[in-house]
A and B are shown apart, each in its own frame.
Chain A
Amino acid sequence: MNLNYIDWYLVELRRRIHDVMPMEEENSFILETKNHLSALSEEFESQGMDPRSAQIAAIERFGSPDVIASDCLVGIRSRKERLLIRVAGVALAVLLVFAAMNQFMLVYLPTQTALVVVPLALFALILGKMPSWKWLGFYFGMTCLFGAVVGYQNTFASPYSSYSYMYEYNSLREHYRELHTSNSKYQAMEHQAAESWRSSIRTAKDLGKNDWIEVPRVTYVVGNGIVQYFPTAVMASSPAPRATYAEGINIMSKGSVGFQDVPSVSTLTLHGPLTAKDVRQALQGRLNEVESHSLGRDIAMSRIETALNTPVIQRVLKQYDRSLRCFILPILPLSLFACYICAKVRGRFRFKPGQMRLA
């Protein structure tokens, strides 16, 4: 490749504007410069200079690439700055979409956000420029790693963490509503069966060999799964709500009354020979079982209702409401915007223009 002085000059000039000027403007500017230098060189050659001397003279008249580049970049945002603004914009848009969807996959951590945003903002404010890519990458990487570990511990890993409480709270509330809706239906069924048994108990007689009576039979199948959420209710309503998970399990095992059964009614036929006493005993046993279930559900609902209104649970709930369903994600756009604003305040994005001078 046979490069002349003008080509070398253009390479130097391009190198100085390459990372800042938009590509289209850069190409246009380089082409104009090339045309200008070629025309100047031809002019000098026509005055009797040899080609090399003419090129050097043209370059000297055109001026230092440093001065021209700095003049050229006045008022132009650097590519890095433009890219950062785009990245921040996209991240912010994603954040808004997530917020609109009311998701909280990554929980907002104010302290961690401050740890990232404040130093970067201070950096930009003091030095008046954006940090280098390497520095930004390293800093974001380390803080995200730190945030991931701390955030995981605080939000997911611990069974009595705020996230766990929130999750359990929502589950508990949902099942409470479910139980509240279905309980009246269950109780009506049980009440009807119990009335029938009481009547049969009052009128019980001996049954002969060929005698029989029909009474309702209530059976229970596994249903709404209240028991599995009961430990949280107990833990939350206990004096030390942030007790260890083992303590919670212990409380649960003592407090568990097995309310997950859903009643269904069919018909039971009692065949003789049976004495009236045996009939009464059989029916009374059924009655006790059903009353126990019905009462148990009432007790469970009462306890869950108490748990849901526990100050600790309410405080956690309010905390989550205040967090506006934010995520770790806002750290990135917040940091970049803070950096950008601080650097802009310092006004160091702009290069100083060169001045024309009188001969």
Chain B
Amino acid sequence: MGFKGDLEALILAVLADHALHGYEISKRIRTQSQDVLKYGEGQLYPALHKLEQSGFIQAEWMLQDGKPDRKVYSITSAGREELERHKSAWSKFVSGVGGIMTSHLAKENK
């Protein structure tokens, strides 16, 4: 199992607590990952549309006074279930990689 830039999982995780528009989602991924994850932010939108088509998130245009309209995304119940699957897979990945890396680091420290 490997980390294949699973942007969709990150989006679902970010949307788990709040309904957000695209720029805000991107900003949160950036700040919460402490700028470790680098990607063209434009790639966010294809991922969002894919999630929307899959029924994991839903979108709604929000009118704003004096500002451009925003498309706000929120997670659905199917999306939450999908997020749980991602979390489980990620936990296994971290524990597997972590076990190897931790023992390697321990050897180096000796």
Check A357 against B45 for contact (C-beta < 8 Å): no
A303 → B minimal CB distance (Å) = 72
B residues less than 8 Å from A34 (CB atoms): 68
B residues less than 8 Å from A28 (CB atoms): 71
A102 → B minimal CB distance (Å) = 44
Check A36 against B26 for contact (C-beta < 8 Å): yes
In the complex, chain B residues 49-95 whose Cβ is within 8 Å of any chain A Cβ: 49-50, 53, 68-71
Q: Is A67 an interface residue when CB atoms closer than 8 A count as contact? A: yes
B33 → A minimal CB distance (Å) = 9
Residue from B4, B7, B42 in contact with A33 in the complex, judged by beta carbons closer than 8 Å: B42
The distance in angstroms between the C-alpha atoms of A130 and B7, with both chains bound, is 32
Residue from B5, B23, B49, B68 in contact with A356 in the complex, judged by beta carbons closer than 8 Å: B5
Q: Which residue of A lies closest to B7 (CB)?
A: A356
Summarize A's interface: helix, strand, loop or mixed.
helix
Q: Which residue of B lies closest to A68 (CB)?
A: B42
Known: A35-B22, A74-B46, A353-B46. A40 touches B5 (CB 8 A): no
Known: A62-B40, A358-B38. A39 touches B23 (CB 8 A): yes
The distance in angstroms between the C-alpha atoms of A35 and B44, with both chains bound, is 13
A residues less than 8 Å from B42 (CB atoms): 33, 36, 62-63, 65, 67-68, 71
Residue from B5, B35, B37, B46 in contact with A68 in the complex, judged by beta carbons closer than 8 Å: B46
A selection of 10 A-B contacts at a CB cut-off of 8 Å is A33-B45, A35-B22, A35-B23, A40-B41, A63-B42, A67-B43, A72-B46, A75-B50, A356-B43, A357-B39
A residues less than 8 Å from B38 (CB atoms): 356-359
Check A358 against B36 for contact (C-beta < 8 Å): yes
Q: Which residue of B lies closest to A34 (CB)?
A: B68
Check B36 against A68 for contact (C-beta < 8 Å): no
Interface size class for chain A? 20 to 34
Residues of A within 8 A of B (CB): 25, 28-29, 31-36, 38-40, 61-65, 67-68, 71-72, 74-75, 353-359
A residues less than 8 Å from B28 (CB atoms): none
Q: How many residues of B contact A (CB 8 A)?
A: 28
B residues less than 8 Å from A74 (CB atoms): 46, 50
A residues less than 8 Å from B69 (CB atoms): 31
The distance in angstroms between the C-alpha atoms of A140 and B83, with both chains bound, is 51
Check B68 against A35 for contact (C-beta < 8 Å): yes
The distance in angstroms between the C-alpha atoms of A358 and B33, with both chains bound, is 11
A residues less than 8 Å from B40 (CB atoms): 61-64, 67-68, 354
Check B36 against A63 for contact (C-beta < 8 Å): no
B residues less than 8 Å from A35 (CB atoms): 21-23, 68, 70
The distance in angstroms between the C-alpha atoms of A38 and B6, with both chains bound, is 26
Residue from A29, A39, A357 in contact with B5 in the complex, judged by beta carbons closer than 8 Å: A357
Check B43 against A68 for contact (C-beta < 8 Å): yes
The distance in angstroms between the C-alpha atoms of A68 and B5, with both chains bound, is 15
Check A36 against B43 for contact (C-beta < 8 Å): no
Check A29 against B45 for contact (C-beta < 8 Å): yes
Check A36 against B49 for contact (C-beta < 8 Å): no
A residues less than 8 Å from B41 (CB atoms): 36, 40, 61-63
A219 → B minimal CB distance (Å) = 84
Q: Which residue of B lies closest to A71 (CB)?
A: B46
B residues less than 8 Å from A355 (CB atoms): 4-5
Residue from B6, B23, B43 in contact with A63 in the complex, judged by beta carbons closer than 8 Å: B43
Q: Which residue of B lies closest to A67 (CB)?
A: B40
B residues less than 8 Å from A67 (CB atoms): 40, 42-43
Beyond contacts A72-B45, A72-B46, A355-B5: 19 other A-B pairs, Cβ-Cβ < 8 A, are: A29-B49, A32-B22, A33-B45, A34-B68, A35-B21, A35-B22, A36-B22, A39-B23, A61-B41, A63-B41, A67-B42, A71-B43, A71-B47, A354-B40, A356-B5, A356-B7, A356-B43, A357-B38, A359-B36
The distance in angstroms between the C-alpha atoms of A355 and B49, with both chains bound, is 16
Q: Which residue of B lies closest to A356 (CB)?
A: B5
B37 → A minimal CB distance (Å) = 7
